[in-house]
Structure formats: structure tokens, C-alpha cells
Amino acid sequence: MEAQEKVSVQMPHAGTAAAFEDIFKSHFKRLHAYACTIVKDEATAEELVQQVFYKLWEKKDRITVQQSVTAYLYRSVYHESINHLRHYKVRSAYQSHAARQAPHHDSASSRATMRELEQRLGAALQALPQQCRTIFQMSRFEEMKYREIAGQLGLSVKTVENQMGKALRLLRVKLADFLPALLSLLFFNQ
């Protein structure tokens, strides 16, 4: 291991864009290949590695690495990949559960429930603060990533994350009776 790769100060070295770019260029291909071995999809792996570097840049003033930069990056990519797989597994399990349950529901009552849900969802969305509602709609209905939303609205990614958390908490409370139907609406009507 190279001596210059040991870091015990802020990361990347002194927070300079040039140092960050050097770290990105020297590690991206190997990290991408590593992520591919975990998630088995090149595009997803590329996005996950980019997220790791984005988070690294965003938190460069607060991150202190006690081991090699390479080890830190590989561990970050591993965790990002595992989190992605867990999310995918949960979503897939719910979709297959909902698909198994769908034939058991009477279609007329199901349509009535969906209409009522849509009305309650619309009312709950209207009750959200404007910025919160806008961010929620961009994320869930337009399928935009937090980074894209932040860029379009001129906000930080952290603000978008906080507003999404607030929106989800408020909607969860207002729509608690309809949570299974709401998940179906959000995931299957895309």
C-alpha cells in the first residue's frame, strides 16, 4: 500500500477539486467492476459508484478516513450496493405479494377503493407544504432522483431528502388506512 494513500485528515486530500478528480479517475473503473460483481448490472453499478463519489464530494469537509482511500471507497461501494439490493428485494417481494393478492379482490370493490384512495391521496398531497409537495411529486410521480430534484429546484440534496422524509411521514399518518393500496398505486401504475 502506498504511503500517500494513507489518510487521516479530511478527504479528499485538502478537499481540492484536482485531488478529488485524481481519486475519481484512478479508482472509478475498478470500483465499477466491483459493484458489477455485487449488483450484476453495469448501469446500476455505475450509478452506485457515482453516488459514492457524489457523497464523498458533498461531505468532503466532514469525512475523516483512518485507513487507505482505496479501502474506504471499496467499503462505501459495498454498502451502497448492498443497500440497493435490499431495497430491490423488498420492492420485489411486495410486488409479488400484491400480484398474488390481486386476483382475490373483487374488481368493483377494488376500483372503488382505488377511487377513494386517489381522492384521499389528492387531499393529503394538497395538505402538504408547497415545497414538500413539489419534491414528493417530482420524486414519486416523475421518478426523478434527489440529485436531479435538487438541481432543478436550486436546493441541496440534503434539503430534498429532509422534505421527502417530511412528506412521507405526513402522508403515512393521513393515509394509514390505505397504505397497502397506496403502495400498489405508487408501484404498479408507473
- Model pLDDT for residues 43-94, shown as the tens digit of each residue: 999 999 999 988 888 887 777 777 788 888 999 999 999 988 888 777 777 7
**More reliable by pLDDT, 97 or 165:** 165
**Three-class secondary structure assignment of the chain:** CCHHHECCCECCHHHCHHHHHHHHHHHHHHHHHHHHHHHCCHHHHHHHHHHHHHHHHHCCCCCECCCEHHHHHHHHHHHHHHHHHHHHHHHHHHHHHHHHHHHHCCHHHHHHHHHHHHHHHHHHHHHCCHHHHHHHHHHHCCCCCHHHHHHHHCCCHHHHHHHHHHHHHHHHHHCHHHHHHHHHHHHHCC
Task: Report the CATH number at residue 54.
Answer: 1.10.1740.10
Domain endpoint, select from 26, 59, 87: 87
Q: What's the average model confidence in pLDDT over 154-170?
A: 90
The last residue of a domain, from among 87, 115, 145: 87
C-alpha cell at 107: 374488481
Interval 138-144 mean pLDDT: 82
CATH number at residue 132: 1.10.10.10
Query: What does the block give as the cell for 113?
Result: 377503493
Say whether both 22 and 50 belong to one domain: yes
Distances (CA, A) of 10 to 50, 56, 58, 60, 62: 20, 11, 12, 7, 7
In a domain, 145, yes or no: yes
180: containing domain = 106-188
pTM: 0.46
pLDDT at residue 27 greater than cutoff 90: yes
Among 19, 52, 87, residue at a domain's last position:
87
Q: Of the ranges 10-14, 76-80, 103-107, 117-121, which one carries the lowest mean pLDDT score? A: 10-14
